[in-house]
Amino acid sequence: MVSQIEILATFPVKIPQQYSPAEYLEMEVRSTDRHEYRDGEIVLMTGATPNHNRIARNLCTAMTIGLQGRALEVFVADQRLWIDQANLYTYPDIIVIEGALELQPERKDTVMNPVLIVEVLSKSTQTYDRGDKFAAYRTIPGFQEYVLVDQYSQHIEHYFKTSDKKWDFQEYDATDIVLPLKSIDLEIAIAYIYEKVEFVIANIKIK
């Protein structure tokens, strides 16, 4: 009699190929697509929806204007971030850096010192963004604030570091209030963040 283990052993098992950070970077700089590097595994990053892009654009515009003349700089989407303690390369939707850029040694295209990160949630990444990815972000020295913006409904999750290993959490969903970004001393109206964003509920488009 053939055991279940013997039967399962006849099926091919796909083992994810492991890459070094150097191998990843060599391939990534030549690629037309963007990929994340997760502790040896390379993961393709999917394209964004119009709502995703509208939200990122609105936030970037508000931050860029609001931070003019200050020692803070905003980067969007294509800026690669290296998180040494998590062995992770990723491309946050928005990052804000205070003062001089801290670049990964021997790299000119990869930063390491965000004070604020924003991710626009998608159905395929929202669990990761709230879980393992946020855990990786929390290992970054100087990282103080994390904002998750829903693109399917008007809802924002806001985390702010109050002390070592302690984070304050707040949710926002009303239109007539502002999102207070404490790490960069800037307020952005929720209505502006969602300007031109179109929600679909039961096949009815809601602007």
Distances (CA, A) of 6 to 10, 15, 100: 7, 18, 58
- The helix/strand/coil state of 9 is helix
Assigned domain for 201 exists: yes
Position 15 scores a pLDDT of 58
Determine the Cα–Cα distance for residues 195 and 76; give it in Å rounded to an integer: 18
Position 207 scores a pLDDT of 54
Bridge-based pairing of strands 156-163 and 145-150 is: antiparallel
Assigned domain for 186 exists: yes
Position 14 scores a pLDDT of 54
pLDDT along the chain (207 residues), means of 10: 44 70 96 95 92 97 98 96 98 98 97 98 95 98 98 97 96 96 98 94 56
Position 10 scores a pLDDT of 46
Print the domain residue range for 141.
Answer: 48-206
Which residues lie below 8 Å from residue 4, measured CB to CB, with a gap of 6+?
A: none
Structural domain total, the chain: 1
Position 17 scores a pLDDT of 87
Helix (H) or strand (E) holding 6, with range, is helix 4-9
User: Does the predicted TM-score (pTM) go above 0.85?
Assistant: yes
Helix (H) or strand (E) holding 5, with range, is helix 4-9
Position 12 scores a pLDDT of 53
Assigned domain for 39 exists: no
Assigned domain for 69 exists: yes
Determine the Cα–Cα distance for residues 102 and 80; give it in Å rounded to an integer: 12
Distances (CA, A) of 97 to 3, 111, 121, 168: 57, 9, 21, 21
Is residue 54 left, alpha or beta, with left meaning phi > 0 and alpha meaning psi from -120 to 50? alpha
CATH number at residue 195: 3.90.1570.10
Assigned domain for 31 exists: no
Assigned domain for 4 exists: no
Burial string for 52-88 (b: 16+ CB within 10 Å, else e) reads bbbbbebbbebbeebbeeeebbbbbbebbbbbeebeb
Assigned domain for 98 exists: yes
Neighbours of 205 (CB within 10 A): 8
Assigned domain for 34 exists: no
